Structure 1
C-alpha cells in the first residue's frame, strides 16, 4: 500500500483493537508508537512482538485525558521517529447503565478519554502535520455514536462528538493535504464488551446481517485502507465497520 517507513501513533494500543491496529500497520512497514495508559506489560510485550516482525516500535505511556501528557507523548514520538504521519485515536472506555445512575466522576472519565482525548491528540498532531503539508488522522467512534443506544446515552453522546470533530477537522485540514476520517465499529469481540453475557452477545450477532460479531482485524483492515495513499481523496467520512447493523 506504499506505507513503508511511515510513523503511526496509536492510542490505547495495549490491547484489543489498538493492539491489532499496531500489528496491522507494522505488517505494512510502518514504524509504530504504541500508546498505553495502564496496560504496561501488554504494551511492552506487543512492542517486542512488533520488533520480532522486523518493525521499529516503541511503547509510550500517557493518559490521553491529560493534555500535558498528550503533548509529551507526541514530543516523544517525534524524538524517536522524527515525524508523525498517521494518528489513530483509538483509546476509549465504556460505561453502561441508566443515565440517572451515572456519577459525575464516571461522566468526566468517559468524556475525558473518549472525546477530550481525541481533541488533545488531534491538536498536538495538527501543528506537525500542517507544517509538513501531509498526514492522516483516524478517529474511532462507534455505531452508537451514529444512532444512539439505550443504557449507553453518555457513551453515545461522546462518540457522536468524535464524529462531529472528525467532520469539522476534515474541512479545516483538507487544504493542508491532511485527511481526517472516522471508523464507527459495531459490536467487536474485545474485552470492552466483556461485561455482556453470552446471551447478549449471541443476540447482537443475530441482529447483525452478516451473522457474527466483528473482530479487531475487521477494524484494523479498514483503518489501514483509510490511512493509505489509495484513500487520499477520502476525508470527512464515517465508515461503519458493523456487519451491516445500521444499514
Structure 2
C-alpha cells in the first residue's frame, strides 16, 4: 500500500531534496508550492523514475485560509513535512508589523492550523510522523535575525509539545534544525561573508540540501521509531 507524505514548500531547494529522498524510499508525495509552478513541474518530471504518485498542490500559506485550501486537497496521509517558510534579515528596530505578521503566520500559525486540520487522517491510522524544518537560530538565536529566530524557536516548542500530545496515538513529531545550507536563501551574502561562516563551522563547509533531506528521511523511517520530540541538529558542529 502506498504511503503519502505532504511536503510544504516543495519547490524550494530543501523541499526538492526532501522530495527526492522520500521518492527514493518509495513514498508518494503531495508537493505543495505557491508561485513556482515551473519548479514543481520540473521536480515531478525528475521524480517519475521512482514510480510513485506525485501530486502538486498550489496554496498561498500567507493567506488566512491558505492552509484550508491545502488541507482540502489531501486524502490518504501518512506524514507531514513542514518546510514552507521565509527568511527575514535585519535589525529589530527596522522590523515592520506587516513583515512580522506574515512571518508569524507562515512559520507558526499555518503549521499549527494545517496540522490540526490533517491530524484526523493520521490518528485514524494510529501511526505517522510529523517533521518540522526549523533552524539553528531557533536553538541559539542570531543577531540581525531576531524575528526569524523567534519563529524558529516557536517551531521547536511546537514540536516538543505536540510530540507529547500525539504519542498515545502512535504519531511521532520531530524537528530538523539546519545550520547554514547552500540554498538561494544565502544569496544575499558575499563570498567573503560565506567564507567567514565556513571558518566558524567545525566541518568547514556549508550543508547541502541533501544533508538536510537525509535527516528528514531518517526521522520519517522505522529506524527512528523510538524517537519523538527530538530536534536533530544538522549544522556541521557549529552549535551543540
1:46 aligns with 2:29: no
Q: SS at 1:92's partner residue?
A: coil
Structure 1 residue corresponding to 2:153, chosen from 160, 165, 174: 160
Partner of 2:18: 21
Deviations 1:100-151 (A, max 9, x none): 0011111111111111222122112212111221110000110000000000
Structure 1 residue aligned with 2:191: 198
Structure 2: where are the runs of 5+ without partners? Answer: none
- Which shows bigger deviation, 175-184 or 38-47? 38-47
- The answer to whether the aligner puts 1:73 opposite 2:70 as a matched pair is yes
Displacement, 1:67?
Answer: 5.1
What is the CA distance between 1:69 and its match in structure 2? 2.7
**SS in structure 1 of the partner of residue 74 of structure 2:** helix
Q: 1:5: Cα distance to partner?
A: 2.3
Match status 1:91 vs 2:96: no
SS at match of 2:20: helix
Which residue is 1:224 aligned to? 217
Between the aligned partners of 1:58 and 1:9, the Cα distance in structure 2 is 9
Question: In 1, are the aligned partners of 2:26 and 2:50 still within 8 Å (CA)?
Answer: no
Q: Secondary structure at the match of 2:216?
A: helix
The answer on whether the counterparts of 1:66 and 1:117 sit within 8 Å (CA) in structure 2 is no
Tell me if the contact between 1:26 and 1:50 (Cα under 8 Å) persists in the aligned partners: yes
Distance (whole Å) between structure 2 residues aligned to residue 124 and residue 46 of structure 1:
27
* 1:5 counterpart = 2:7: no
SS for the counterpart of 1:60 is strand
Q: Deviations over 1:162-211 (max 9, x none)?
A: 00000000000000000000000000000111111111111111111101
Matched, 1:62 2:59: yes
Query: 1:66 Cα shift?
Result: 3.6
8 A contact 1:189–1:213 mirrored in 2:
yes
Aligned length, in residue pairs: 240
Match of 2:179 in 1: 186
TM-score normalised over the length of structure 2:
0.96
Shift of 1:53: 3.1
Contact 1:67/1:120 (<8 A) preserved? no
Give the Cα–Cα distance (whole angstroms) in 2 for the partners of residues 195 and 122 of structure 1.
Answer: 32
Runs of 4+ in 1 over 4 A off after TM superposition: none
Alignment gaps of 5+ in structure 1: none
